Structure 1
Amino acid sequence: MPSNKHLATFFVSHGSPRTLVDETPTTEFYKKIGEYAREEGIQGIVWMAAHWETPLDTIELSSNPHPDKDFVAFVPDEIMDWYKSYQINSDPSLATKCRDKLKAAGFNASLNSTAIWHQDVMIPLRWMYPDYKTCPPMTVMSVNGRFDPHFHLKIGATLRSLRAEKILLIGSGGGIHNLYTVSWHRIIFYQDTVTRTKPIEQFAAEFSASMKDSCVRNSGPQLGGALCRLLSHPHFIKCNPTPEHFLPMVYAAGGCSTFEDSDSVNAFGGENWEMDTQLNVNFVFGLDKNDKRFLGGADREEYEEAEVIRASPTSSAGTLVEVRA
């Protein structure tokens, strides 16, 4: 039954296949989401996953009750056994519910009964729900291949009401995802992605700072607007030459970007770099300002600083804080 309380929404970076193995701040965030979900008694999860793109104006949801999984490599045998044996709790009825909401809002949405599930969902599940018997019902949704951020923001906004029905909205992608620049030798020869072999380049550091500012120092409509504008950031293309890994973040934020969400709080969920240039960054949106699990320390300071800016008579109406370029 719907309640007055709205769940938070989440963006997670799924990382390389080694994220199935190596514990990092990202995997710690996955565990926190699992703990949060159990405490809140969630009834389902609606994922938007970067590894599934659909053409033209379409959006699809997996309605396969027993989906297959894509190939995974660079992991030890025991993890491969877990991956192969994990039984996905796919819920066609949840997919249908989402499809109907999206169609009612004017989207060209449909069900896909043959879609396979990819590691962009399986990797977070490895840490959130390592035992498939405890996993709630789920569905996974495609990214639209036209890569319009406002399109994906509206998808999140359309499904916002599910938050009151204890359905989690989670986007899975990455903060900086440029496969042309990563140090492939780290994973191919050493199965090691977390050891750095060169400094973080300035363009990546600057985009990362802008991304964090946009997420944690805005709320309500300003949050969605700030993330959509990031696709015009001077370093966006160098960081994300194709935006499919970034748009699930916009989807997750879309579920918390109405005026009713203006008093909610967002938090940084930790990060780690892989293969030198891939940034796995994580965020939680739509928290109550008194949250103790995700909003602590530096995140609390960010929120309080943002509140000061919001109250400033010189603050512009169109944006809560200037996004660093």
Structure 2
Amino acid sequence: MGLTPVHFFSHGSTMMLGEESTSGDYWKKCGDEALANNIKGVIIMGAHWDATGDAIEVSMNPTPGKSPVAYVHPSKYVDYRLEPDLKNGERVLKTLESAGFNVRPNDKFEWIHDTFLILIRMFPNGCPPTTIISMNARFDPHFHMRVGSTIRPFRKEGYLVVGTGGAVHNLYRNVWWPMLMYRNNFAQPTPPEGWSLEFRQSVEDVMSNNRGPALRRAITRLMKHPQYRDAHATDDHFMAACFVAGAAGDWEDEKEEKGRLGAETWELTNMCNSQFTIGSWGRAVAAH
């Protein structure tokens, strides 16, 4: 099959599940392409689950529930059946353990909107077998890049690797009143602030101008950007980008297509939900 593409999706606020957007359309397009290429399953890292100490965890709950989604009607998600991939989860555990990670299964983990929001939008007619890998709460970019690098071989087997976090995601600097008063998360009463625009552009530049190991270096270097802390008050929503860089940043990936911005949705004035894909399925399916 060759290498499957890798996606870095900015999942945004919970209302990205309840409201239509160009990002939602793009997620659906990426899901349709994955199904057309007969993926075996999805391996995903989100932004709302982390393990303490030096550990990471893999979700092994055979019947996971869903955390409630604020400001979204339950009909949008409660009946969507999750499909945990326990067989591949065991393989992911062994692969990470062999690479020296302190990794453990979690058979009680309830799925959170950062992952099932994306899965519902990508695969509305049914969840593919999915393995969720946690972050580590120390939020070391190189650590998370190495996690992505370790699971990269699964791409050659037909698994789709997804990181779901945020390009610009600082809840403290969002403008909340249009959503709280009118349930309008897409209102832009004023333009985004300069720090948000600057960091958003830097993320696109890094994604679109680097391949292979250069992508890994450039993504982790973004955490030294002068506007990084404005764009990310906490590091959790950026770790998925490091995970993706690891999964798509091998020397072999220099032959693949550079990252491209497939869609973008601004929310709450300063939250930029950029959607990136690295690599491709090939001309035949892309044309389809």
Q: Which runs of 5+ in 2 are unaligned?
A: none
1:253 aligns with 2:245: yes
Deviation for aligned residue 1:87: 1.4
Larger mean Cα displacement after TM superposition, 284-293 or 18-27: 284-293
Residue among 242, 264, 267 paired with 1:271: 264
Task: Please state how far the C-alpha of 1:289 moved relative to its aligned partner.
Answer: 8.0
- The question of 1:114 aligning with 2:111 is answered no
Counterpart mapping for 1:204-283 below 5 A: 204-265=196-257, 266-283=259-276
CA contact (8 A) 1:264 1:289 kept: no
Partner of 2:25: 28
* Cα offsets for 1:116-157 (capped at 9, x unmatched): 10001121122211123xx22111111111111111111111
Q: Which secondary structure does the structure 1 equivalent of 2:135 belong to? A: strand
**Aligned counterparts of 2:246 and 2:21: Cα–Cα separation in 1:** 27
Cα displacement (A) at 1:211: 0.6
After TM superposition, give the deviation of residue 287 of structure 1 in Å: 3.0
Q: Which position in structure 2 is the counterpart of 1:179?
A: 171
Greater Cα shift, 249-258 or 281-290: 281-290
Alignment: residue pair count = 286
1:198 maps to which residue? 190
Q: Superposition RMSD on alpha carbons, in Å?
A: 1.6
Q: How does 1:115-154 map to 2 (within 5 A)?
A: 115-132=109-126, 135-154=127-146
Letter matched to residue 249 of structure 1: A
Determine the structure 2 residue equivalent to 1:89.
83
Where in structure 1 do 4 or more consecutive aligned residues deviate above 6 Å? Answer: none
Matched, 1:285 2:282: no
Matched with 1:313 is none
| SS of the residue 1:200 aligns to | coil
Q: Name the counterpart of 1:319.
A: none
1:5-24 Cα deviation digits (max 9, x unpaired):
11011111111121112221
Question: TM-score by structure 2 length?
Answer: 0.95
Quick check: 1:50 aligned with 2:47? Answer: yes
SS in 1 for 2:131: strand
Task: Judge conservation of contact 1:264–1:288 (CA < 8 Å) in 2.
Answer: no
8 A Cα contact 1:99 1:111, kept in partner: yes
- Partners of 2:192 and 2:272 in 1: CA distance: 10
Q: Is the radius of gyration larger for structure 1 or structure 2? A: 1
Task: Write the distance in 1 (CA, Å) between the matches of 2:260 and 2:95.
Answer: 28
Partner of 1:143: helix, strand, or coil? strand
Q: Please give the alpha-carbon distance, in whole angstroms, between the structure 2 residues aligned to 1:92 and 1:119.
A: 20
1:75 aligns with 2:72: yes
Q: Is the 8 A contact 2:4 2:158 kept in 1?
A: yes
TM-score by length of 1: 0.85
Following the alignment from structure 1 to structure 2, what is the Cα–Cα distance between the partners of residues 148 and 291? 39
Once residues 74 and 105 of structure 1 are traced to their aligned partners in structure 2, the CA distance between those partners, rounded to angstroms, is 41
How high is the sequence identity, in percent, across the aligned residues?
Answer: 35
**Superposed displacement of residue 291, structure 1:** 8.1
What is the rounded CA distance, in whole Å, between the counterparts of 1:261 and 1:289 in structure 2? 14
| In 2: Cα distance, 1:57 partner to 1:16 partner | 29
Question: Does the Cα contact within 8 Å between 1:74 and 1:188 map onto a contact in 2?
Answer: no
3-state SS of the aligned residue for 1:284?
strand
Is the partner of 1:47 in helix, strand or coil?
strand
Cα distance in 2 between the residues matched to 1:217 and 1:148: 24
Unaligned runs of 5+ in 1: 295-325
Contact 2:18/2:76 (CA < 8 Å) preserved in 1? Answer: no
SS in 2 for 1:168: strand
**8 A contact 1:50–1:245 mirrored in 2:** yes
Report the alpha carbon displacement of residue 28 of structure 1 after superposing the two structures with TM: 1.5
SS at the partner of 1:74?
A: coil
SS of 1:243's equivalent in the other structure is: coil
CA positional deviation for 1:292 = 7.5
